[in-house]
Structure 1
Amino acid sequence: MSDAPRRVARVLIDSPLPQLDRLFDYVVPDLLREAAMPGVRVKVPLRTVGRTVEGYLVELGDETDGDRPLSELEEVVSPVEVLPDRLYAHARRVADRAAGSASDVLRLVIPKRMVRAEKAWAAAGPPEAPVVSADALAWARETAAAYPDLESAVAGGERVAVDAPPRPADDVPAWAELLAALAVLTLAQGRSAIVVVPDHRDEAHVLAVLARRVDDAAVVRDDARRSGPERYAGYLRLLAAVPCIVVGNRSSVYAPAHDVGAVLLWDDGDPLLAEPLSPGVHARDAALVRQELQACALVFAGLTRTTDVERLVALGWVRDIPARRRESPRVVLSATREGESRGTRVPSAAFAAAREALTHGPVLVQVARPGYAPVLVCADCRTPARCAQCAGPLRARRPGAVPECAWCGRAAPAWACSSCASQRLRMASSGSERTADELGRAFPNTRVIVSDGEHQVTHVDARPALVIATRGAEPFATGGYRAVILLDGDRMLMTEQLRIAEACLRWWSDAAALAAPGAPVHLVGVAGPAARALATWTQPAYARAELAERAPLHMPPTVRVAAVEGTAAAVAEAIAQLRADVPALTETSILGPVAREDSVRALVRFEYALGRAVAESLRASVVAAALRGRRRRGAPSGQRNTLRVRLDVPDLDL
């Protein structure tokens, strides 16, 4: 018998089952010794399921004690090391913080293998190191110089928050030039930069600026809109030991680029940066973990300041760097004048501003909802009209059309009010299409452009036009809009959400920043702190005030919140175990459980210092519940998952 040590591979199984979220040991057979390297995809036998599964080889080691029975590696799927150490460490830390699985995080980052793309990449050889021209470097330094010490802070790996300039810059927003400039400065130091943006329109703005400043080979676009081969080829480029600039959506925060010097996160308040898939980690939190692990710079940039970032600024964890010269749009709080009807949707001052602006260029009108009449009510008693099948709200797509349900799509030709039996309906709101219809009649011979979920417009020219857009769908106008009118603000604020005022301020600020310098921005029919913050352009001060109000009530983000959902027995057992594991939790820390459609849910509020203990306890309960469900032979798969946990839910009403 040979005394030579045997090679042992530690493998992370690619599986959503929580009980498999650990490293499994396998013997590396002699035939696979050369190919079995850390980071490669492998296939291994899994006795519990009686079949071969895929995974990632994380670590290699030699073992002299050969008495331990171990299975052998089945196959090395590809020689490409798709899971570098830096990515695994990041995914593991993020998963542990969120009581989730590392494989769930990696599934968001590593694309499926594409053999042709892999062969083409291997044949092409390593990419050349990018070179930043003197002109591009001078432009980047001049752009960053608008913020004192920003360039040195990024070069020194600091965490900073900046308020972006609220204006257009030629054919892109000014914020896109700022982020691109910081990325170019990082690349000039021989390090990679990662730019994380909410959606494809923001991505297009940043890519347009970079296309004018650096070679295309230095920029890697990373988003789910690309084809499978394109995305895999881009991922392989990230693995090369050559710096680059990565531009992409929320999962790009994990991009394993070489020697990352800066992570630049745009508009962290946008809900598109919140990952809906397990473990549900926000890009902001993943970026904070990455900065801590890799000592790279982290920049939070936006037109508004979220309470989450402002909390970090107040703690001194993030440094606030204001601009040398404060810029702000010309915001007018527009209300109805004496003699005007209280229900007037566009007051005379805003109407006159739009009429004047249309002689020079386009005018933006922001509305709350798409469609023609998103809300219908009984014409007699004003009871909201509901679908008889699913109780969803009824809507009208055009004047005189049969109402239909916004949830199930069923038509309701014989609708009758449940309160007074009336069959008459009244339009209680105006969507983007109805607003376009009304304003089109008010401004004859004027182009009318609608931009919403069904009519996506990303850019309009400088010719006069009325642009009716829903919140978040506003097109960029060359040279900026000559006037901006923000309608339905009162309706937006009526939504029952903890952060609705913060969200409204972000929607209004994003639209106001599209105005040309000096152009009026009319916020119609809204008063209060959020409106004053917009008018004075003091969003960070508003975030500080919000934090001060939430702290005594123990509302996020002053505390972390975990949602525990599942069967009544599983939730009760998890909460009992949590109380035993974390005795610092008080009686008021647990909210619920309350019954939902087919489960119960409890919320756990806890201080940030208790985060690790709470996550470990809840994760152990999830694994225990999964093992119990697996032993229930014959139970449907949906009933086996008796417990679900999500940390850092943004609102208590989720």
Structure 2
Amino acid sequence: MSSENDRGDEGGEPEQLALIRESVRAAKVPKAKPRTWRGAPLAGELPVARVLVDKGVLHLDRYFEYAVPKELDAAAQPGVRVRVRFGAGNRNVRDGRREGGGLIDGFLVERVAEAEYQGPLAAIAQVVSPEPVLDAELLGLTRAVADRYAGSLADVLQLAIPPRHAKAEAREFAAPPALPGAPETGSWARYERGADFLASLTAGGAPRAVWTALPGPEWADEIARAVRATLASGRGALVVVPTVRLAARVDAALREELGDGQHALLTADAGQQRRYSEWLAVRRGTVRAVVGTRAAMFAPVRDLGLVVVWEDGDQHHSDDHAPFPHVREVLELRATRDKCAFLLGSWSCTVEAAQLVRSGWAAAMSAPRDVVRRVAPLVRTVGDRDVARDEAARAARLPSLAWEVARTALREGPVLVQVPRRGYVPRLACQRCREPARCRQCAGPLEAREATGALACGWCGREEGRWQCAECGGTRLRAQVVGARRTAEELGRAFSAVPVRTSGREQVLDTVPGTPALVVSTPGAEPVAEGGYAAALLLDGWAMLGRADLRAGEEALRRWIAAAALVRPQEVGGAVVVVAEPTLRPVQALVRWDPVGHAVRELADRAELGFPPVSRMAAVTGTAEAVAGFMGAVELPGDAEVLGPVPVPEAIPGAARRGGGPPAGEQWERVLVRVPPGSGSVLARALKQAQAARMARGAGEPVRVRVDPLDIG
């Protein structure tokens, strides 16, 4: 039986019970979640941490939420390195996780009061170091770089923050030194806007300039004066150069201009402890000026007032690791974000630098023509027809004009000889039909070994006993390009009275004495001569100009000018001989010493063809099936134009790891996607989303996506 109070009206549920249920339903009171994890108490305030795990894969390019145990509350601050469990055992790949998975490094980005994920969260396992290495400014910069290049934030942070070293963190740093006074104008007075540029930096301004430096060694001192002017205004400065040798020159100039303790040197060869210690000094504000190589572009300089990039056309400024950021583009981004001054300097001028001036983003800064003619060496040319008629040139690869210039200059000082390849005889071809000599085993290039002269494959090492041309049946070989060591041997026999030095990949000389000597160097390895070279011979110019590359002419001119800039001025007898067709545009630009004019004309040609930097471009590379699948899945912007696919030339072993091509034995294809400049971010986002979706599905064949590739063939 039931009582009267248990019955509702008309056989429904009891009235009191219905009212209670209705009030609970209206209040929607959630169950209180105990702030514990596996019975351990959590932090009282902001108990949830958002962590960026060190997994450079696009479909995991987001923050993951973890609980903060109470014992880690004080150390687990935004910006510190942490270790968390990640992987197997995940409850939800987006946020919360059950116990399980391996420990992985990460950065604690922020702490919040409530988690977005409603399930149980795993806890932070360890705070690796209480040093906050990732602040909001660096996080914003690296995120912007990742988005621009269709990459992951974790990959960019690996480039931006050096590996930790415990002893470096324990070091006590001195107080910041006193600010230097304003510099003297010095050699900046040679440039039409040089004095005004320095004055603007000293006054706290943010000028932007594309600087065409005059030949000679003064460029490092001029950069040091610009840095001093910025420091005098109470701001910081950052200088990025392509090589360690150039960084050492700027380092010495800064020490001379500022004194000790005013700047940091960030280079990859400094060793882990020293590099991290210097980086920490910058982050903590102990020093306000930085000079370094590529990775220094992310240096956390306080109150950044000036960014400088020297020789932006050098390939060392483009990172070999995903997402392949370029120093020039990153420093442009920093100048825009931080509203600071920007200085792009070089003896030459890239098309991208000319585009900055044409767009009005930066102003041109160069010397008057009469000053250029006074400090530049005399440039003379020897064409292919002249070489063909020259018996001495055919016998010794040195035209009579170059021979005479070298013989005369050796009475006064050293002579630089630039050859485009290292080694002994790097490339051989059939003497009859000029077909490249290749290995029968793997189709690699045949080379002549230095010790024995025997033919061997440059890829697999297999020796070739009796070679025969597959095209015409010829059995005699000729050198396509003779290497630096072979050139040094030939010149040593021709000029037996003077020493011959070589500088290349195996041994790069930094300086040479100002006494008579022949210095044979590959491009980029030219040492500085005391007092300058008396002359320079630029051999085999056709080898650089004949490359199937959109930048062949620009790169050849940059290499030539970099070597010629080390020669004494024309007024004291300095001379340069370039062996190349005189009518070609890069050769004429060298003769007139007019790299800016060459860049402007190249830019006009690029604009007519729609090539970068007038447009934005991305390269998608992989096997034919993988590229076709990727392009079928990506949602390109409406104004995108697809070029290709085309076969990718097979690369030397190991080049695939450096982004240079497919592994030996594989055939890859490449597609180029071109959009107008305003659609570059849309294209990068579309490519990133397609690549992330492909990785999440576990696609087998790799596809490489590179935004703004240096080489588009």
Cα distance change, pair 89–66 in 1 and its aligned pair in 2 (3 A): closer
Q: For 1:372-406, what per-residue CA distance to the aligned partner results, in whole angstroms no more than 9, with x for missing partners?
A: 22222334554322112221221223386112222
Deviation at 1:611, TM superposition (A): 1.2
**Equivalent of 2:176 in 129, 132, 137:** 129
Matches within 5 A, 1:10-21: 10-21=50-61
C-alpha distance 320-380 of structure 1, shift in aligned 2 (>3 A) = closer
Alpha-carbon separation, structure 1, partners of 2:389 and 2:687: 61
Deviations 1:210-246 (A, max 9, x none): 2222233222111111111111111211111334221
SS at match of 2:502: strand
> What aligned pairs does 1:275-290 form with structure 2 within 5 A after superposition?
275-290=319-334
Q: Which has the higher contact order (CA 8 A, sep 6+)?
A: 1
C-alpha distance in structure 2 between counterparts of 1:459 and 1:309, whole Å: 29
**What is the RMSD of the two structures over their aligned residues, measured on CA atoms?**
2.4
8 Å contact from structure 2 (residues 77, 108) kept in 1: yes
1:340 maps to which residue? 390
Q: Is the 8 A contact 2:639 2:676 kept in 1?
A: no
Aligned counterpart for 1:418 among listed residues 470, 478, 496: 470
Q: Secondary structure at the match of 1:456?
A: coil
- Give the counterpart of 2:157 among 106, 109, 130: 106
Which of 78, 82, 88 in structure 1 is aligned with 2:133? 82
1:35 to 66, 75, 90: 75
Report the Cα offset of residue 522 of structure 1. Answer: 1.4
Structure 1 residues 383-402: aligned runs within 5 Å:
383-398=435-450, 401-402=453-454
Task: Give the whole-Å Cα distance in 2 for the aligned partners of 1:568 and 1:386.
Answer: 25
Partner of 2:41: none
> Cα distance, 1:428 vs. partner?
4.0
- Equivalent in the alignment of 1:534: 590
Partner of residue 635, structure 1 = none
Whether 1:623 and 2:692 are equivalent positions in the alignment is: yes
8 Å CA contact retained: 2:51, 2:109: yes
Q: Distance in 2 between matches of 1:352 and 1:51?
A: 70
Which residue, 95, 98, 110 being the options, matches 2:146? 95
Partner secondary structure for residue 217 of structure 1: coil
Q: 1:595 to 1:532 in 2, by over 3 A?
A: closer
SS in 2 for 1:426: strand
Q: Deviations over 1:469-489 (max 9, x none)?
A: 111111110110011111111
Verify: 1:150 aligned to 2:197, yes or no: yes
- Residue 54 of structure 1 aligns to a residue whose secondary structure is strand
Amino acid corresponding to residue 145 of structure 2 in structure 1: V
Q: Equivalents in 2 of 1:338, 1:40: separation in Å?
A: 66
**Equivalent residue in structure 2 for 1:521, among 558, 576, 587:** 576
Contact 1:6–1:66, Cα closer than 8 Å, also in 2: no
Aligned to 1:175: 219
> How far is 1:68 from its partner?
5.3
8 A Cα contact 2:264 2:287, kept in partner: no
Indicate if the aligned counterparts of 1:365 and 1:487 stay in contact, CA closer than 8 A: yes
* 2:284 counterpart (240, 243, 253): 240
Contact 2:392–2:400 under 8 Å retained in 1: no
Distance of 1:333 and 1:601 partners within structure 2: 38
Distance 2:376 2:112 in 1: 59
What does residue range 222-301 of structure 1 map to in structure 2 within 5 Å?
222-301=266-345
Paired AA for residue 577 in structure 2: H
Amino acid at match of 2:381: L
Checking the alignment, whether the CA contact within 8 Å between 1:564 and 1:646 is kept in structure 2 is yes
Match 2:378 to one of 305, 321, 330:
330
Distance change (3 Å), C-alpha of 1:591 and 1:517: same
The structure that has the greater radius of gyration is 2
**AA partner of residue 93 (structure 1):** A
Amino acid at match of 2:502: V
- Paired with 2:387 and 2:393, the residues of 1 have a C-alpha distance of 11
Partner of 2:353: 309
Greater shift in the superposed pair: 345-354 or 192-201 = 345-354
Relative to 1, partners in 2 of residues 1:243 and 1:393: Cα closer, same or farther, differing over 3 Å? Answer: same
**Unaligned 5+ residue runs, structure 1?**
168-172, 630-638
- 1:216 aligns to what SS in structure 2? coil
Is there any run of 5+ residues in structure 2 with no aligned partner, and where? 1-31, 36-43, 94-99, 649-665
Aligned-partner residue type, residue 109 of structure 1: A
Task: Report the TM-score when normalising by structure 1.
Answer: 0.91
CA distance in 1, matches of 2:480, 2:70: 74
Distance across 2 between alignment mates of 1:224 and 1:410: 35
Tell me if structure 2 keeps the 8 A contact 1:378–1:424: yes
Distance 2:508 2:702 in 1: 41
3-state SS in 1 of match to 2:493: helix
Residue 582 (structure 1) shift: 1.6
Looking at structure 2, the residues matched to 209 and 532 of structure 1 have their Cα atoms a distance apart, in angstroms, of: 33
Q: Is structure 2 residue 119 aligned with structure 1 residue 71?
A: no
Give, in angstroms, the shift of residue 132 of structure 1: 5.1
Task: Give the aligned partner of residue 204 of structure 1.
Answer: 248
Letter of the 1:366 partner, please give it. Q
Give 3-state SS (helix, strand or coil) of 2:464's partner. coil
Q: Indicate the residue corresponding to 1:433 in structure 2.
A: 485
Q: State which of 454, 458, 482 in structure 2 corresponds to 1:406.
A: 458
Corresponding residue of 1:447: 499
Return the letter of the residue paired with 1:605: R
Select 2:84's aligned residue among 44, 47, 51: 44
Corresponding residue for 1:608? 677
* Partner Cα separation in structure 1 for residue 62 and residue 133 of structure 2: 19
Deviation (angstroms), 1:602: 1.7
Q: Aligned equivalents of 2:116 and 2:284: distance in 1? A: 37
Task: Tell whether the 8 Å contact from 1:164 to 1:301 is kept in structure 2 after alignment.
Answer: yes
Q: Which residue of 2 aligns with 1:632?
A: none
Give the aligned partner of residue 652 of structure 1.
Answer: 712
The secondary structure found in structure 1 opposite 2:129 is: coil
In structure 1, what residue type is equivalent to 2:206? Answer: G
Against the structure 1 CA distance between its residues 598 and 378, is the aligned structure 2 distance closer, same or farther, given a 3 Å change threshold? closer
- Structure 1, residues 351-387: CA drift from partner, whole Å, max 9, x if none? 2221111111101111111222222233455432211
Choose 643-652 or 356-365, whichever is displaced more: 643-652
Distance 1:323 1:541 in 2: 14
- Aligned residue pairs, count: 628
Deviations 1:117-171 (A, max 9, x none): 222x2xx1x422223555xx444x324343322114444123211011211xxxx
Which residue is equivalent to 2:413? Answer: 361
Greater shift, 567-576 or 19-28, is seen at 567-576
Which moves more between the two structures, 48-57 or 336-345?
336-345
Q: Does the 8 Å CA contact 1:16/1:104 hold for their aligned counterparts?
A: yes
Q: Report the alpha carbon displacement of residue 513 of structure 1 after superposing the two structures with TM.
A: 0.2
Distance 1:486 1:592 in 2: 36
Residues 278 and 431 from structure 1, CA distance in 2 versus in 1: closer, same or farther, beyond 3 angstroms?
A: same
AA paired with 2:178? V
- Whole-Å Cα distance in 1 between the matches of residues 437 and 624 of structure 2? 34
CA distance in 2: counterparts of 1:354 and 1:28, whole angstroms: 72
Residue 410 of structure 2 contacts residue 516 of structure 2 at CA under 8 Å; is this kept in 1? yes
CA distance in 1, matches of 2:483, 2:703: 40
Matched, 1:9 2:56: no
Alignment of 1:457-476 (within 5 A): 457-476=509-528
Shift of 1:195: 1.0
Provide the identity percentage: 39
State yes or no: 1:583 paired with 2:638. yes
Q: Is the 8 A contact 2:263 2:287 kept in 1?
A: no
Per-residue Cα deviation, 1:188-220 (whole angstroms, up to 9, x for no partner): 222221110111111111112122222332221
- Whether contact under 8 Å (2:481, 2:543) holds in the other structure is no
Between the aligned partners of 1:530 and 1:265, the Cα distance in structure 2 is: 23
